[in-house]
Structure 1
Amino acid sequence: MFEAGLRLGDTLTNDELRTLFKCGNMGGMRRSRQTGTLVIISDDTKSLYKDEWKNGILHYTGMGKLGDQSLEGNQNGTLYYSDSNGIEVHLFEVMERAVYTYRGIVQLADEPYQSLQADEEGQLRRVWIFPLKPVRELDEPEDRALSQLSSRELERRSKISRRERRPKTVETTVYYRDPYLKELIKRIAEGKCQFCGADAPFLDRNHEPYLEEHHIKRLADGGTDTIDNIVAICPNCHRRMHVLNREEDILKLRFIAEKNEEKLNRLLSL
């Protein structure tokens, strides 16, 4: 196994990626015989390839910009046989131009299949799609890193981050909570509890007002992790909601959540 020395979520420049993996500096699939790796890049800033996350599986489009894609003489074949050829596949995502975010080692989750997509001249052609799953669960981004992003970038990454994730059952059921949306809600609240109106009780370790996200309809009851179902409230009010669960409180929070959606639209228009 190649030791990249990277943590999930680390970011590299293109040159740093090339130097670390000893691979080429161009293309979405880069093989290195020196490190025994295949670096694949899912680039959301480019429109040609239609990569898509579904239920935690990345459906990754193979290489080839013109005409039908082939498995011969390119890295599509390397990825196709990666379960048996000893090649370690490392995934990077580009959600912000020239910033390569490390998503760790991935492996085929199912048989690759063919689909129809347009090539760079707009002609419909057959492409190879590779269903890939992370070997390790993706880490969530650090709160400090989130606080540095613009509101528009948080909203954009939130859409990407959702990836149609579903609950997973281990010993208990764990529900995915969108960290970008959480930061947006806190930003909309401007340091005040959205239920009682009081200032946040203290600053967190990043010197930001401490508020907690609350889902008005619980995720376990079928609630959605969307802006119209989330408010930012102080710990005291958060505990009140879970202990008392009063209908009048729920109605008030629903009204606040509706206003949050309007506030986000105004925030993004600035």
Structure 2
Amino acid sequence: MRRSNRTNTLVIVSNHVASIYDDRWVEDILHYTGMGQVGDQSLAFNQNRTLNESRINGVAVHLFEVFTAQTYTYIGEVLLADEPYQERQPDVKGEDRFVWVFPLRLKSGTSPAISDVTLQQLNRVKEKQARKLSDAEVEALARRQGRTNVGKRSARVTQHQRSPWVAEHAKRRSKGRCDLCQEASPFNRRDGTPYLETHHIEWLVHGGADTVENTVALCPNCHRKMHVLDDQADKILLVARVNAH
């Protein structure tokens, strides 16, 4: 948090990539963690006091969020939606402590929708960070940060208009076998047709085409593998198998 006395404003940043704080949106309320990286936080400390008194001190509070490293997205002016409350979070040393959480809402109303691609990328970053931790660290964080009041926010979804004919062609061309592992489909649909999922070798979001040449039929396991690994060797193999038809 940074305050400007000249403009009588307070800038707060919710960094979802590189921060020890557990900030989260619940509906249209951002539960924002106060200042203080070591030990219990105090409402009287520095800009915690400014934010806590923002309803009476005339300071305008502006929120930025970070979803990608070193990229700050301006969200808007925010107001205290309720009284601050305390909860336990780890400090920068990993020690358990009490922090102050400020429920904030946008002055303009509902929170802006963030691209679903951006949120998916953020989730992948967090999953990668989690994989670097020890079993004990992961369990401690899971138990400490698990909650019944799950954070959620609006996302702006970009939907590609895929051709149903291209998808159906890929499934029929495969003759009931996965184009990658070559195993038979794991089960049949109610109408008796093999269950396979269509996949674009070069993803649409990366500029791939929705064409017969770029579309294959995969079993659910291989489909997930392609989205997790996007392995170049697998892509070359799929292209070769499509071209062989």
TM over 0.5: yes
Does the alignment pair 1:81 with 2:69?
Answer: no
Match of 1:156 in 2: 121
Kept after mapping to 2: 8 A contact 1:40/1:90: yes
Q: For 2:75, which of 88, 94, 103 is the aligned residue?
A: 103
Aligned to 2:64, the other structure's residue is in SS state strand
Deviation at 1:164?
2.1
Once the two structures are superposed, what CA deviation does each residue of 1:85-108 show, in whole Å capped at 9, x if it has no partner?
A: 101000000111111000000111
**Secondary structure of 2:166's match?**
coil
Answer yes or no: is the 8 Å Cα contact 1:56–1:163 preserved in 2. Answer: no
Structure 2, unaligned runs of 5 or more = 126-149, 168-189, 200-217, 231-245
Residue of structure 2 equivalent to 1:266: 226
Number of residue equivalences: 165
**Equivalent in the alignment of 1:18:** none
Structure 1 residues 109 and 261, CA gap change in structure 2 (3 angstroms): farther
Cα distance change of structure 1 residues 159 and 111 upon mapping to structure 2, 3 Å threshold: farther
What does 1:71-150 correspond to in 2, within 5 Å?
71-136=43-108, 137-140=110-113
Deviations 1:43-87 (A, max 9, x none): 011241111111221110000011111122400000011111101
Provide the identity percentage. 40
More displaced stretch, 35-44 vs 259-268: 259-268
Deviation of 1:39 after TM superposition, in Å, equals 0.3
For 1:197, the equivalent position in structure 2 comes to: 166
What's the TM-score, normalizing by structure 2? 0.56
Cα distance per residue 1:104-158 (max 9 Å; x no partner): 00111111001111111122111100011111234446xxxx7xx9x7x562247
Note closer, same or farther for the CA distance 1:86–1:268 as it changes in structure 2 (3 Å cut): same
SS in 2 for 1:120: coil
Give the 3-state SS of the residue equivalent to 1:196 in structure 2.
helix
Give 3-state SS (helix, strand or coil) of 1:155's partner. helix
Alpha-carbon distance between aligned partners in 2 of 1:261 and 1:113, rounded to the nearest angstrom: 44
* Pick aligned residue for 2:4 from 4, 9, 32: 32
Pick closer, same or farther for the CA change 1:196–1:133 going to 2, 3 Å. Answer: same
Indicate which of 41, 46, 49 corresponds to 2:13.
41
Residues 100 and 261 (structure 1 numbering): CA distance in 2 closer, same or farther, change over 3 Å? farther
- In structure 1, list runs of 5 or more residues that go unmatched: 1-28, 166-175, 199-247
Contact 2:13–2:63 (Cα < 8 Å) also in 1: yes
Task: Report the equivalent of 1:57.
Answer: 29
Moved more, 39-48 or 99-108: 39-48
Q: 1:197 aligns to what SS in structure 2?
A: helix
Q: Find the structure with the greater CA-based Rg.
A: 2
Q: 1:154 to 1:47 in 2, by over 3 A?
A: closer
- Aligned-pair distance for 1:196? 3.3
Between the aligned partners of 1:260 and 1:86, the Cα distance in structure 2 is: 59
**How far apart are the structure 1 equivalents of 2:3 and 2:103?**
19
How far 1:260 sits from its partner (Å)? 9.9
SS at match of 2:22: coil
Judge which range, 67-76 or 86-95, deviates more.
67-76
